[in-house]
Each structure stands twice: as C-alpha cells, then as structure tokens.
Amino acid sequence: MENQSFLSNRLLIGGLAITIVSAFFCASLYWFFRKRIYANLQLYIKQKGDLDEERHRLRQYKVEEVQKATQNFSKECLVGSGAYGNVYKGFFGEEGTLAVKKLHTDSYVSNEDFKNEVKLLAKVTHSNLVQLRGFCSGTGKNGAKILVYEYVSNGSLLDYLIGKGGRSLTWEQRVNVAITAAKGIAHLHEGNKPSIIHRDIKPSNILIGEKFQAKISDFGLVKTGPSGDDESHVSTQVKGTLGYLDPAYCATLHLSTLSDVYSFGVILLQLITGRPVVDTSGNQPTSHIIDWATPHLEKGSVGEILDATLLLEQCNTEMMLKMGQLGLRCVKKEPKERPTMTRVWKELQAALYRAETFKREQKMASERSLGKASQLPAHSRNDDGDDYSCSVSLNSVGLQRFQVEMDSFSFQSRNLRCLELDSLSFDIDAKSIS
C-alpha cells in the first residue's frame, strides 16, 4: 500500500516537471521567435485582405496616385459635380482612364463605414452598371474619401436630353439605352441578395457607353434593399430627386424595387418626348411630364408629344408609342400594378425585335421590287421622244421608303396611285424622267 502511494507521488511529480519544462521551452521559443511570428501573422492578415480585394476586383489607391492622375484635382480634369462630390477624369498609366469621384468629406460617418460600403459595392458587377475599380480613404475622420470607377466615355443621358454640345439620340439608340438601362437596374434588383434599390434613377445617373449602351451609376451611394422575413419593403427616410420620386414611397416611406420602376417610367417618357420632368421654360403649361403625356398615350397617339429631333429622321413611331405606354405602366400610382424591371426590358426587347424584323422585311421587299424594276425591257425608254409610259408594281413598300429610294436615283413620277394597303402601283411618264 505504501509502495503504491510512493509510486503515484513520483508519477505526479514527474508529470508536473515535464509540464513545467515544456511550458518553459515554449515560452523560450516564443521569446526568441516572437518578432518572426508577429511578422508572419501580419503577412497572413494582409494577404487575406489583398485576396478579398482581389476577389472583389478592388484596388486601394494611394492619395498621391489619384492626385497625380487628376493633376491634383484640376479644373481641366473636372467632368462634373453632384450632390455627393466632384467627378474627375484621371489618367492612371497602364490602367488607362478612370473616373475619380471625390466625395464630400462628410459623406460618410467614418472611414470604416466608407470601406464597408465600398467592399459591398465591389461585388456588384454587370455590363450595364458602372464598375467600381477601387477606392482611396484618407486618414482621420475627415480624410479624403475617393471612389475610382471605370470611365464612361459618352456622357450621361441628361446630356442627350438637353442636347448638350448638339448631342441627340436616334429612335433606335433611345430604345437601346432604355433596354440596357433596364437590364442594369434589374440586376441590382434581382441579381443581388439582398436586392439593391437604387433610389436615385434619373438621366444624369444613366451614363452612355461607347456602343450607346447604358451604364447605371451611383447605385453605391444608396443603402441596400430589404432583407429578412418581410422582403417586400424597407422603411427609411425619403431620398431621391424631385420629379422622379415615387409618390407612393413618399406617402408611406415604404421603399421597394418598384420605386425604381416608377423613376424609370419617367425616363421612358423623357426618352420619347425629350422634355424635362417639369417644363418651366414657358413653352408648355407647367405640368409634370406624366400629366402632360398621359392623355396622348392613352388614346394611342404619340405624334404630338414626340421629341422634335426625332422628326428629322425616319422614326418608328409605333416603337415610341410602345415605349411611352410602357412608361405609363411603370408610373402607376399603385406600386403592385407596375411591371418589374426584368419585365420592362423583356417587353422592350421583344418590341424592338418585331420592329427590326418588319424593317428588314420592308428592305428586302423594296430591294426585290427595285431589282424587278431595273429589269424592265429596254423599249420602255423613250429614245425617239415618243409619248409612252411603263408601269412598275412594288409590294410591301411603305410610301416614305419608296420616295427615299427613288430620290437616290434622281427619279420622279408625276403620277402616283396607291391601289392597296401593302401594294403600291404607279405609272411613270417617260417624258417626266429627267
């Protein structure tokens, strides 16, 4: 019995001694290598951070780098300014030209808020959204907060609507801008969880790319959409621009993706009319574009409200009418009656496809008919000065198209007679051919 207790005491003492020696050994190791351990830990944290930034395609710029790219935020590089700050064109060597948005120092509460918001934004990528490339955050609460975006070269939709520098859009470009803008907004709504509500859809936030495709900007300067059980709306203070603000949202403070649909509806009306949201020029009675355009569009007529610059070219009025009427559905007072952004772009795309198919068919029919006309027998020409005429028949050719094509041949006819709706027949008096 005594032997047993002696043995267990020795074991206990032995174990204790081993533990103390091991602890001492570990402490010595740590003491000797502590600097290296710290360095490796910091390297790991930094690499993890870099990887995160890489994954979000985000780069943290140095203030000096941005200053150099924008010639110290010079007037020459200033592109425009808005509620959140100034936008500069920056030249970043191999990275090319980028847009630098220098936010007002009080735009975010802290640098930490700013960085979090920026990281969230970097995850949102779509060809119809202006891509965030990186950021730059100064030190201290009021340090410079700068966002670096891809540079969109063709100005904003607002520039085209007000005709800045003589800019204007053809009817096809207007439809293309509408479709691509709707795709970008639809991605914010449906391609992210929680969905992102833009809150400030307006022409200056729709930038125009090289191929006249829309790129939505400033979606980062708003808060993300609803999440959790009740995903239909979030209650928040009213933000947005007068004229584009959804009255249902203003009345209830319930924000949903359908408020963006309302703002987009106003833009569709502007695209076909080229009119400001509220015309204060004195040319028209001061009223909101919706009140002004609704009676015309409801009775299926677009001619009286069409942008005058569209009258200078061949305009597909049917497509413009479709776009206007879709705009009216987007601005319905009851949000639930509005279409989603995905539905909007799909409807526009289908209408454009129909319009293009029709145009192609018209062109082919016109070419076929003109081909037939050029094969007319030689005797139909009046070489002897005799008074005789030939007859040509064109199928499925619109009157306007026919005139344009004939003009290009310097060809005139005194006698023009429409026989059927889609079949045109006319006589050519040989004497009248110059």
Ligand X SMILES: Nc1ncnc2c1ncn2[C@@H]1O[C@H](COP(=O)(O)OP(=O)(O)OP(=O)(O)O)[C@@H](O)[C@H]1O
| Residue (167 or 343) nearer to ligand X, CB | 167
Binding site members for ATP:
102
Pairwise CA distance, residues 195 & 178, whole Å: 21
How near is the Cβ of 208 to ligand X at its closest, in Å? 9
In this chain, which residue has its C-beta nearest to Mg ion? 218
Task: Report how far residue 434's alpha carbon sits from residue 431's, in angstroms, rounded to the nearest whole number.
Answer: 8
Give yes or no for a contact between 124 and 196, defined as CB atoms under 8 angstroms apart.
yes
Single out the residue of 73, 84, 91, 358 in contact with ligand X (rule: CB under 6 A).
84
Based on the shown chain and the rule CB under 6 A, indicate whether residue 127 belongs to the binding site for ligand X: no
- Here the tokens at position 40 are 């490796």
* Residue 387 DSSP label: -
| Residue 230 backbone phi and psi in degrees, to 5 | -90, 95
Which residues, in sequence order, are CB contacts of 168 under 8 Å at separation 6+? 160, 309
Residue (149 or 402) nearer to ligand X, CB: 149
Q: Per rule CB under 6 A, is residue 218 in the interface with ligand X?
A: yes
Query: Which one of 67, 70, 137, 156 is in contact with ligand X (CB under 6 A)?
Result: 156
What is the distance of C-alpha 218 from the center of its chain? 10
Strand-strand pairing, 389-395 and 423-429: antiparallel
Cis peptide bond prior to 194, omega within 30° of 0 = yes
CB of 327 to ligand X, least distance (A): 21
Residues forming the site for Mg ion (CB under 5 A): 82, 205, 218
Contact present, 402 and 420 (Cβ < 8 Å): no
- Assess 216 for contact with ligand X (CB under 6 A): no
Site string for ligand X, 367-396 (x = CB under 6 A): ------------------------------
Q: Is 207 in the site for ligand X (CB under 6 A)?
A: yes
Report how far residue 219's alpha carbon sits from residue 98's, in angstroms, rounded to the nearest whole number.
18
Contact flag: residue 201 with ligand X (CB under 6 A): no
- 22, with CB counted inside 10 A (0-12, 13-18, 19+), is exposed
Stretch that binds ligand X, among 76-84, 223-231, 340-348, 400-408 (CB under 6 A): 76-84
Q: How far is the CB of 349 from ligand X (least distance, A)?
A: 25
* CA–CA distance, 167 with 177 (Å, rounded to integer): 14
Catalytic pick among 113, 200, 260, 427: 200
Name the token pair of 57.
């395609």
Q: Kindly state whether residue 80 participates in binding ligand X, applying the rule CB under 6 A.
A: yes
Question: Could you say which residues in the range 94-123 bind ligand X, by CB under 6 A?
Answer: 99
Q: Check binding of 81 to ligand X (CB under 6 A).
A: yes
200 flagged as catalytic: yes
Shortest spacing between CB 56 and ligand X, in angstroms: 18
In this structure, are residues 434 and 412 in contact, taking their beta carbons and an 8 Å threshold?
A: yes
> Nearest residue to ligand X, using CB?
82
Cα separation, 380 vs 92, whole angstroms? 68
- Annotated catalytic sites, by residue? 200
Q: Where do contacts with ligand X occur on this chain (CB under 6 A)?
A: 79-84, 87, 99, 130, 149, 151-152, 155-156, 200, 204-205, 207, 217-218
